[in-house]
């Protein structure tokens, strides 16, 4: 056996000392070597001899490997060739070693676990993953690149570069970040990660990600840096595109006032993607989101729950867009709001149950109210136009019957139409389709006042009463009545001379839908008054229109010292739907 060992070690060696002395030296070197040594048979199937270092490495007693089949040291599919290999120890456990094979002589060394991981297969896997390796030697200042690393940076395989060359291929801020990170890794002997844009030798720009860790000598001194590098250009561009699309979606939904949500069906959990969802439901992030069960049983209006359940079932069954409208109670103020929900169920594969519902929510309460108010305003407009045309027709007929000439007809007709137009103008300008009683009086009586001061009309005209807003259905006939009273006073009563006075007083008393209007028109110091011999348009308006349209009680007094009129009328309740501020 010993002779076989000596022959195995003697191949190709020049003989200096005598044969016995040389053999003793070779035997001593074989037995005392710090690394494992083995001599195999010519067919490499059997171990002829193994030194104590190899026996100890694999857990055998000295001489315990001699004569054993070489296959006993190998796990399935492993071969005893040069490289990082995994052998089997005496207990059947794995041992990672470095093997150098030369003919029938095998050298076996223990290997560090990290080095064992750097097998040729791992290198192939790293290359497949797009990773390249690099190492910077502190003493020489050179950076050695693997084939893949050189390919990423646009260098030739095997070409080494320097830090200055790398920095020149990057923008100043990115080069500063790279240098700063490298210095920190060297000083702290830690790991550094870098991501930035790099200009290759061929002029093409790429985005690289690199990681580095300081390397050390056995005494702990830092000798350089080693790490991996990867081209992440495509990944970063895809990430940036996704971020941009997400940002555009968020901007669009924010402008459209839409909430975005996901409902995960298996665990009945919801994810709310933006702040608008919390606003719609009157919740804060601290309150958390709500799942389907809480939504249907507590938040949704009881009258809408069946419709929402049917819509969900239909969308699941027919694999279509889920769309439903319902009312929810907000958490913060308890108000009922109407929402539109739309979404689609997402499936892993056709004909499989969906995993989640992705959708949007819009608060349409204000829109529905606006639509209802618009419809009401249109109906109110139709009613107003119909009444106005009827009033104009009555004005034409009555003015024609009482006019003594064309000029007289024109003067009376135009005055009444102007009064009617002014009343409508006041109603249109008002926020809530109302007219102030004082404004209606001041518009008609202002031409006859000697002086006007803030808070009232002094001189011949006295207006006394609180601010009262008359709804449109009351303002039009009352405005026409004020015009007729003013016209009659100017023609026949207190405003027909320089001394006459008109005093108008009103008050609002409790009663009716919105109070009772008490209105008094009193003339004094004008010509002596005589009751009219026939009833004109003004008289019919005061008696009939006010009684019919306003449900007013009207009393007139033609006393010689001055005409007076008293009206008591209920003020209609305001229609909230006509208020744009409601």
To which H or E segment does residue 358 belong?
A: strand 354-363
Give the model's confidence band at 6: pLDDT under 50 very low, under 70 low, under 90 confident, else very high: very low
Instruction: In whole angstroms, give the CA distance from residue 107 to residue 38.
Output: 7
What DSSP character marks residue 510? S
24-38, 90-104, 177-191, 329-343 — most confident range: 329-343
For 35, which DSSP code? S
Interatomic CA distance for residues 349 and 317, integer angstroms: 15
The 8-class DSSP code of residue 115 comes to H
Superfamily grouping for domain 248-363: PAS domain (3.30.450.20)
**What percentage of the chain exceeds 90 in pLDDT?**
22
Distance, CA of 158 to CA of 456 (rounded, Å): 102
With a cut of 70, say whether residue 425 has pLDDT above it: no
d(CA 516, CA 468): 11
Q: What is the CA radius of gyration of the chain?
A: 51
Tokens 């739907």 label which residue? 577
Pairing of strands 451-453, 501-509: unpaired
Mean pLDDT of the chain: 80
Per-residue pLDDT at 325: 92
For residue 115, what pLDDT is reported? 58
The predicted-structure confidence for 46-67, as pLDDT tens digits, reads as follows 999 999 999 999 999 998 999 9
Residue ranges of the chain that CATH labels 3.30.450.20? 2-117, 120-231, 248-363
pLDDT band at 136 (very low <50, low <70, confident <90, very high): confident
Does the structure show a pLDDT above 80 at 393?
no
pLDDT of 4: 33
Of the candidates 147, 145, 149, the one whose C-alpha atom is nearest the C-alpha of residue 160 is 145
The runs of H, that is alpha helices, within 430-471 are 437-445
Fold for domain 370-578?
Heat Shock Protein 90 (3.30.565)
pTM reported for the whole predicted model: 0.42
CATH 3.30.565.10-classified regions of the chain = 370-578
Strand partners, 346: 356
Note the pLDDT tens digit of each residue in 438-481: 988 988 888 887 644 444 455 789 999 999 988 877 888 888 88
Percentage of the residues of the chain whose pLDDT score is greater than 70:
79
Which of helix, strand or coil describes residue 30? Answer: helix
H or E segment to which residue 207 belongs: strand 205-216
Which pLDDT belongs to residue 456?
Answer: 44
Give the confidence band of 126 by pLDDT, cuts at 50, 70, 90: low
* Closest residue by Cα to residue 87 from 55, 51, 42: 55
Domain 2-117: assigned CATH number: 3.30.450.20
Q: How far apart are CA 290 and CA 302, in angstroms?
A: 17
- Reading phi first (left if > 0) and then psi (alpha if -120 to 50, else beta), residue 125 is in alpha
Q: Domain spanning 120-231: which superfamily?
A: PAS domain (3.30.450.20)
């Amino acid at each position: 056996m010993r002779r076989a060992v000596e022959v195995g070690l003697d191949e190709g060696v020049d003989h200096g000392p005598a044969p016995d002395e040389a053999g003793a030296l070779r035997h001593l070197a074989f037995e005392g070597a710090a690394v494992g040594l083995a001599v195999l048979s010519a067919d490499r199937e059997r171990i002829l001899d193994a030194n104590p270092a190899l026996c100890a490495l694999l857990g055998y007693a000295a001489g315990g490997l001699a004569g054993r089949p070489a296959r006993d040291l190998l796990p399935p599919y492993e071969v005893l060739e040069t490289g990082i290999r995994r052998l089997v120890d005496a207990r059947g456990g794995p041992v990672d070693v470095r093997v150098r094979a030369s003919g029938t002589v095998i050298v076996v060394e223990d290997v560090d676990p990290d080095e064992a991981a750097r097998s040729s297969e791992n290198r192939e896997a790293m290359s497949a993953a797009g990773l390249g390796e690099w190492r910077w030697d502190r003493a020489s200042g050179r950076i050695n690149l693997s084939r893949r690393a050189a390919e990423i940076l646009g260098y030739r395989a095997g070409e080494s570069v320097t830090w200055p060359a790398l920095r020149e291929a990057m923008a100043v801020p990115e080069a500063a970040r790279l240098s700063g990170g490298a210095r920190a890794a060297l000083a702290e002997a830690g790991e550094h990660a870098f991501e930035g844009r790099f200009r290759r030798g061929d002029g093409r720009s790429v985005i690289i990600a690199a990681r580095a860790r300081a390397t050390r000598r056995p005494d702990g001194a830092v000798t350089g840096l080693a790490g991996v590098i990867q081209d992440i250009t495509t990944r970063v561009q895809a990430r940036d595109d996704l971020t941009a699309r997400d940002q555009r979606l968020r901007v669009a939904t924010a402008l459209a006032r839409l909430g975005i949500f996901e409902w995960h069906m298996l665990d009945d959990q919801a994810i709310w993607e933006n702040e608008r969802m919390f606003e719609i439901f009157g919740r804060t992030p601290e309150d958390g989101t709500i799942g389907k069960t809480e939504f249907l049983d507590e938040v949704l209006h009881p009258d809408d729950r069946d419709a929402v359940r049917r819509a969900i079932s239909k969308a699941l069954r027919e694999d279509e867009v889920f769309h439903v409208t319902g009312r929810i109670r907000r958490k913060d103020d308890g108000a009922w709001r109407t929402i539109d929900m739309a979404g689609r169920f997402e499936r892993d594969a056709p004909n499989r149950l969906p995993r989640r519902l992705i959708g949007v929510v819009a608060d349409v309460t204000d829109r529905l109210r606006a639509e209802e108010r618009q419809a009401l305003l249109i109906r109110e407009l139709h009613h107003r136009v119909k009444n106005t045309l009827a009033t104009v027709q009555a004005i034409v007929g009555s003015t024609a019957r009482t006019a003594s000439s064309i000029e007289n007809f024109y003067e009376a007709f135009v005055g009444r139409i102007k009064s009617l137009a002014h009343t409508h103008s006041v109603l249109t300008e008002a926020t809530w389709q109302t007219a102030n009683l004082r404004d209606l009086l001041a518009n008609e009586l202002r031409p006859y006042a000697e002086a006007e001061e803030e808070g009232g009309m002094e001189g011949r005209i006295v207006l006394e009463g609180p601010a009262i807003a008359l709804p449109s259905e009351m303002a039009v006939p009352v405005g026409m009545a004020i015009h007729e009273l003013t016209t009659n006073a100017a023609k026949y009563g207190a405003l027909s001379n320089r001394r006459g006075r008109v005093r108008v007083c009103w008050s609002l008393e409790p009663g009716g839908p919105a109070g009772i209007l008490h209105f008094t028109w009193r003339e004094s110091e004008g010509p002596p008054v005589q009751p009219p011999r026939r009833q004109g348009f003004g008289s019919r308006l005061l008696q009939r229109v006010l009684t019919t349209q306003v449900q007013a009680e009207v009393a007139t007094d033609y006393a010689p010292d001055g005409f007076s009129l008293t009206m008591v009328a209920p003020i209609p309740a305001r229609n909230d739907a006509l208020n744009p501020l409601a």
